[in-house]
């Protein structure tokens, strides 16, 4: 199962303008671009199994070099900020989401400039300065690719490509060009398993700046997560406190990890809490994952 999710520039007709506090949708193993999938009243695909990660922290890695059109470190800082915006969310009850990211080592090999290609190494962030191999280059700011098990939904590969060939994605706070951090924040939403939301102020709205007032107050405001997005990350990656005695202290020392912020948490608990029935699936299907 391969699913590519695009941020499009053109106006998308948003059929639902109702201000719902939880309109977010998850990416599932049913790909509406390729097959018939049932959707609910929020246009969320309800067929298939939600895409899900099986380990924390989630990794992202920059491609070494590249980036002729942007100052590299400023661009990377904008992308990092996009990742950490999601993992900094404080959920109801005052505890931070269990979502964590870690920046891995740079990767050497570029992703081939071909539609449908995959990079040799996973979790790459690619600034596409040398061409955009996907369709609708003029209408597409970025593309997030997730591979996941067709039955399990378990993510096995992910990358984000930023279309710096066809678009000037800026890193400053002044208005004008399209804001890289805003685009990257949307793509990270896909990276963690979210699909587009019909809530027009969500960072996961299908078209950037086409609905709601997200972009009306300048770039810095446009980078924010809406209530819909906060609901999404807290639903998919709840804080450990939600689980009371089942959370970190319940795991063996070998399963404990210390996150980039120094906070200790439990890998085994993360898996059982976040991916639910995967343990049962794994037992039935052997070592596929």
The minimum distance between CB 142 and Zn ion, in angstroms, equals 8
* Contact window for Zn ion (CB under 5 A) among 7-15, 65-73, 107-115, 274-282: 7-15
Which CB atom, from 5 or from 78, has the smaller least distance to Zn ion?
Answer: 5
* Contact window for Zn ion (CB under 5 A) among 1-9, 20-28, 93-101, 108-116: 1-9
Q: Does 9 bind Zn ion (CB under 5 A)?
A: no
Give all strands (DSSP E) within 114-229, no chain letters.
124-127, 140-148, 155-162, 169-170, 178-179
Return the HEC string of 169-188: EECCCCCCCEEHHHHHHHHH
* Contact window for Zn ion (CB under 5 A) among 4-12, 108-116, 172-180, 237-245: 4-12
The minimum distance between CB 187 and Zn ion, in angstroms, equals 7
Tell me the C-alpha distance between 51 and 116, whole Å: 19
* Contact window for Zn ion (CB under 5 A) among 6-14, 83-91, 124-132, 236-244: 6-14
Q: Are strands 178-179 and 124-127 parallel, antiparallel or unpaired?
A: unpaired
Which CB atom, from 13 or from 252, has the smaller least distance to Zn ion?
Answer: 13
The minimum distance between CB 5 and Zn ion, in angstroms, equals 5
Among 1, 3, 7, 201, binds Zn ion (CB under 5 A): 7
The minimum distance between CB 189 and Zn ion, in angstroms, equals 7
The minimum distance between CB 29 and Zn ion, in angstroms, equals 18
Tell me the C-alpha distance between 68 and 127, whole Å: 9
Among 5, 51, 56, 198, binds Zn ion (CB under 5 A): 5
**Torsion of Cα atoms, 167 then 33 then 1 then 198, to 10°:** 70
CB 6 within 8 A of CB 142: yes
Tell me the C-alpha distance between 182 and 220, whole Å: 8
Which CB atom, from 101 or from 191, has the smaller least distance to Zn ion?
Answer: 191
Which CB atom, from 7 or from 54, has the smaller least distance to Zn ion?
Answer: 7
Q: Which helix (H) or strand (E) holds 268?
A: helix 267-275
Distance separating the N- and C-terminal Cα atoms of the chain: 14
Burial class (CB in 10 A: 0-12, 13-18, 19+), 210: middle
The minimum distance between CB 31 and Zn ion, in angstroms, equals 14
Q: Which residues bind Zn ion (CB under 5 A)?
A: 5, 7
């Amino acid at each position: 199962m391969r699913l590519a999710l695009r941020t499009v520039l053109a106006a998308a007709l948003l059929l639902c303008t109702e201000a719902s506090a939880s309109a977010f949708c998850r990416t599932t193993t049913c790909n509406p671009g390729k097959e018939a999938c049932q959707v609910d009243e929020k246009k969320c695909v309800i067929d298939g199994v939600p895409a899900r990660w099986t380990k924390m922290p989630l990794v992202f890695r920059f491609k070494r070099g590249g980036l002729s059109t942007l100052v590299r470190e400023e661009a990377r800082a904008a992308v990092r900020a996009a990742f950490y915006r999601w993992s900094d969310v404080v959920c109801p009850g005052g505890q931070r989401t269990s979502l964590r990211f870690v920046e891995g080592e740079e990767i050497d090999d570029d992703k081939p400039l071909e539609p449908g290609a995959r990079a040799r190494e996973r979790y790459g962030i690619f600034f596409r300065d040398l061409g955009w191999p996907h369709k609708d280059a003029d209408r597409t700011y970025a593309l997030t690719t997730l591979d996941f098990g067709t039955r399990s939904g378990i993510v096995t590969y992910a990358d984000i490509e930023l279309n710096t060939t066809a678009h000037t994605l800026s890193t400053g706070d002044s208005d004008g060009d399209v804001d890289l951090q805003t685009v990257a924040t949307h793509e990270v939403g896909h990276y963690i398993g979210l699909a587009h939301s019909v809530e027009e102020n969500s960072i996961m709205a299908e078209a950037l700046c086409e609905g709601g007032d997200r972009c009306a107050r300048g770039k810095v405001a446009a980078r924010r997560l809406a209530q819909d997005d906060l609901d999404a990350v807290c639903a998919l990656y709840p804080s450990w406190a939600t689980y009371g005695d089942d959370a970190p202290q319940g795991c063996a020392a070998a399963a404990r990890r210390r996150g980039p912020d120094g906070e200790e948490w439990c890998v085994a608990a993360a898996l059982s809490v976040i991916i639910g029935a995967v343990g049962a699936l794994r037992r039935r299907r052997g070592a596929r994952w």
